[in-house]
A and B are shown apart, each in its own frame.
Chain A
Amino acid sequence: EAGVTQFPSHSVIEKGQTVTLRCDPISGHDNLYWYRRVMGKEIKFLLHFVKESKQDESGMPNNRFLAERTGGTYSTLKVQPAELEDSGVYFCASSQAGSGSYEQYFGPGTRLTVT
């Protein structure tokens, strides 16, 4: 069974540019989460999808961040325009609804560097 995959693994962009990160969850997982780890700080929750619906986006930093999950499969996280403080590692995770274990399976992350 394929795990959670993320693309790209690393992105370097200039301030003001746009970047789109992609996450493919484990097949059949309705729950999809985005997290971010800024250097030296904790991993922070950004948002949670249940299928294609945003269950909670309270962790999204501001309106420069837009997450979508069309069709309830893969998800994208777009940053537009990117700022220096957006640099960090963006993790995606998925979990199976109703499993009772609440285990989240993480992707390898996308390292975003804004220069």
Chain B
Amino acid sequence: AQTVTQSQPEMSVQEAETVTLSCTYDTSENNYYLFWYKQPPSRQMILVIRQEAYKQQNATENRFSVNFQKAAKSFSLKISDSQLGDTAMYFCAFMKPWFSGGGADGLTFGKGTHLIIQP
């Protein structure tokens, strides 16, 4: 079974700063996907960024980028030029796709990091 660990329950930074959220995972699989989801206060969870394990290049989406270290099983999220709207719970998640013999695409989540952007 896979496990996902987010070691930072809460983080607080000033607006415009850069912040990095950590995530480590444990798996014996070779083919998998990693995700960062964001849940703003009282709103639905939305996908921030996705990384396929077979890709060496780190994924980037505007101000959001990841540092994917497959051998170390680490998947950190960097938010550059942080904005007030980035305040949210951030969840790291793992998925073993069905075509890898997983049988289903259920996500395995970490406990989340509550990120607060201060004005």
Q: Measured between alpha carbons, how far is A33 from B107 in the docked complex, in Å?
A: 9
Q: Does A31 contact B (CB under 8 A)?
A: yes
Q: Are A48 and B44 in contact (CB under 8 A)?
A: no
Binds A, one of B20-28, B45-53, B63-71, B76-84: B45-53
A residues near B103, Cβ cutoff 8 Å = 55-56
Q: Measured between alpha carbons, how far is A31 from B95 in the docked complex, in Å?
A: 14
Q: Are B45 and A101 in contact (CB under 8 A)?
A: no
A residues near B95, Cβ cutoff 8 Å = 102
Q: Are A108 and B44 in contact (CB under 8 A)?
A: yes
Question: What class of interface size applies to chain B in its complex with A?
Answer: 20 to 34
Q: Are A43 and B91 in contact (CB under 8 A)?
A: yes
Chain A: residues with Cβ within 8 Å of the partner, total of 26
Q: Which of A3, A35, A56, A104 has the most CB of B within 10 A?
A: A104
Q: Measured between alpha carbons, how far is A45 from B33 in the docked complex, in Å?
A: 16
Q: Does A107 contact B (CB under 8 A)?
A: yes
Q: Measured between alpha carbons, how far is A31 from B37 in the docked complex, in Å?
A: 18
Chain A residues in the interface with B (C-beta under 8 A): 3-4, 31, 33, 35, 41-45, 47-48, 55-56, 58-59, 91, 95, 101-104, 106-109
Chain B residues in the interface with A (C-beta under 8 A): 4, 33, 35, 37, 43-47, 50, 91, 95, 97-98, 103-112
